[in-house]
Chain A
Amino acid sequence: MREITYVEAVREALNQAMTADERVFLIGEDIGIYGGAFGATAGLIERFGEQRVIDTPISEAGIAGACIGAALTGMRPVGEIQFMDFVTLSMEQLVLQAAKIRFMFGGKASVPMVLRMPGGSGTGAAAQHSESLENWFVHVPGLKVVMPSTPYDAKGLLLASIQDNNPVIFIEHKLLYKTKGPVPEEMYTVPLEQSAVVREGRELTIIATSVMVNRSLEAAKQLSEQGIEAEVIDPRTLKPLDAEPIISSVKKTGRALVVHEAPKTGGFGGEIVSVIVESQAFDYLEAPVRRLGGLDIPIPYNRNLEYHTVPQPETIAAEAIKLVRGEY
């Protein structure tokens, strides 16, 4: 199959969604001629015009509000928040409006919008351009949270998110934009709420999100050389979560390690651990369930400090070995 990058996959999904459905439009900062800060919308303004690829002033609450109002009245907006960090400026609109409108109005309105945003560290962008805030949104009933780790999933999940009738927070990763993978040329969807087993194994289950899926796969390769076969699961949709594959896997392996980039305290990992220990998988556990997350610090600028702030393949492998050997 043809290989393209993650950012090309995002762009192709936007292009195909806009071609197929005239209700779909894009709105965000510098998404027109500039093509988006990371190039996700490059060339789309030439194809669809400035009425459907709308450059906005620097107004993140306004972007979110514009998506909500358009979604409420028959459109399918796809907003872009240039860096996930800036979504802090949209929070009222997302948490108190987008998420609640349907419920508050007795299920009589719907808000079919997608808000795309790149999260994560590793680019030397320091503390205000490297956030991983996914769990803030996971905590809000009414929102869906999607976090693809491969080009294939980026395209399929984005198309599914655009077709979904709910507000979807779609979290991309800056380091993944240039990664390549097989992606079909035609339109397809990857259903939301479907976790994927991305590597099969026997000794332990690693549940990882976004860029940590790739790092966990690298760790699994190192582990394999030492005779440890790790199963790796990517939830892909954090909310609503498809827990069943995680529970089944832990029943099989008896060990679980949860890995994410966001600070460990209050992170999504805690939710995954709870799902495991509240289930029948508890009876199969041969070791404590462990979490690897970012340190509880803002992302530092210095390259070495930044590297050591979040989990890396070698730290994931080391933690897995401890779990398998009972050295916790």
Chain B
Amino acid sequence: MENKEKSELADTSLAAELQPHPSTLSLKISEEEAREMLERMILIRAFEEKAEELYALGRVHGTMHLSIGQEATAVGASKAMRRGDYLLNHHRGHGHCLAWFDSDVNAMMAEFMGKETGYCRGRGGSMHIANIEANNLGANGIVAGGVPIAVGVGLSIKMRKTDQVCLVIFGDGAANEGAFHESLNMASIWKLPVIYLCENNQYAMSMPFHKAFNIADISQRASAYGIPGVTVDGNDVIAVYEAVSAARARARAGDGPSLVESVTYRWRGHSKSDKQAYRTRAEVKEWQQRDPIQRFAAMLGLSDAEWEAIQQRASAQIEQAVQFAESSPEPDLGTILEGVYA
């Protein structure tokens, strides 16, 4: 955030490398790729707005955690990764899964609606969506639950001597779990190819960042583990892309993990039961002025007609996904015991 002091970083030269070039397209991204990224961000938002609507209409069961306003983190980070890399993410994870390789919005929607054709055969639901075939190892309902698992994925990559990297995405709340400390330390001492991406959306449920931390940036914690850390504007998709790309390059060079903090904002409540008494409408509105989708569209100089066409494509895709999900079978009760043991 603008008014914060710059972090003291463990490796200042690398931190400089991790720093993004705001509001300019990266040399590594073509105009066409940038438009695909924008379209993906719009699809994620359309998915979540539809999810919210289906909930309001009583057509889905349970709760959900929406990432509306945070789409730049999911799309920027995924763009920096390669097919074959691994992803571990968190409960606010619809966007991460949709942004990841080979994502299938039909399988997403079907999972969200608890259907047999969903990614997890309706057993996981909104909070536990994985696309194992694409090395998306799943969203986690436990804050920092996936963070220690990233150590094992990193070890495995190193032992199998592949050129993969593991991206683990977690929230600001997770950075205050003990598992975060154990994991970053282990990944650092063994120089594992892991990217720790902290999606700081300002609130751990109702606990504001400034009350839960006595530091300006979560990325400062990287120095305690002897790894580089950087804080980027998480509503700038290119900034996220640049930082995660640099972290990936470092991981591939055998130099070990990095901590990237993507500063963003959760527009909706924590889950569907949140009355949001802990923040003001003015604050939400102020952040909505920094909408990552509007910003990126403006940067790409999209015409109204182009914007409208993208919106229509997204909503058509989502409508088709809803139809697919609604016409899909419920899991057969006869299969209830399946999948506990291999």
Contact = CB atoms under 8 A, between A and B. Distances in A.
Interface in A51-79: 51-52, 54, 56-57, 59, 61-62, 64-75, 77
Interface residues of B, number: 48
Given A92-B179, A96-B142, A142-B340, A105 B148 contact: no
Contacts of B153: 69-70, 72-73
Contacts of A142: 340-341
A72 B128 contact: no
A68 to B, nearest CB: 5
B342 A62 contact: no
Contacts of A197: none
Given A65-B149, A102-B342, 11 more contacts: A59-B186, A62-B186, A65-B147, A65-B152, A65-B183, A66-B148, A69-B148, A102-B339, A104-B138, A106-B124, A106-B339
A248 B121 CA distance: 39
Contact of A102 (B141, B142, B340): B340
Contacts of B244: none
Given A25-B159, A69-B154, A61 B178 contact: yes
Nearest to B124: A104
A165 interface: yes
Interface residues of A, number: 44
Interface of B: 86, 88, 118-124, 128, 130, 132-133, 135, 137-138, 140-142, 145-157, 159-160, 166, 178-179, 182-183, 185-186, 189-190, 338-342
Interface string A85-117: 000000011001100011111111110100000
A141 interface: yes
Contact of A106 (B123, B147, B152, B154): B123
B155 A109 contact: no
A249 interface: no
Contact of B138 (A73, A74, A105, A166): A105
A73 B157 contact: yes
A69 B138 CA distance: 11
A59 B185 contact: yes
Nearest to A75: B156
B149 A166 contact: no
Nearest to A101: B138
Among A96, A105, A142, A165, max chain B CB count under 10 A is at A105
A144 B156 CA distance: 23
Contacts of A70: 152-153, 155-156, 159
Contacts of A110: 342
A67 B121 CA distance: 26
B141 to A, nearest CB: 8
B105 to A, nearest CB: 17
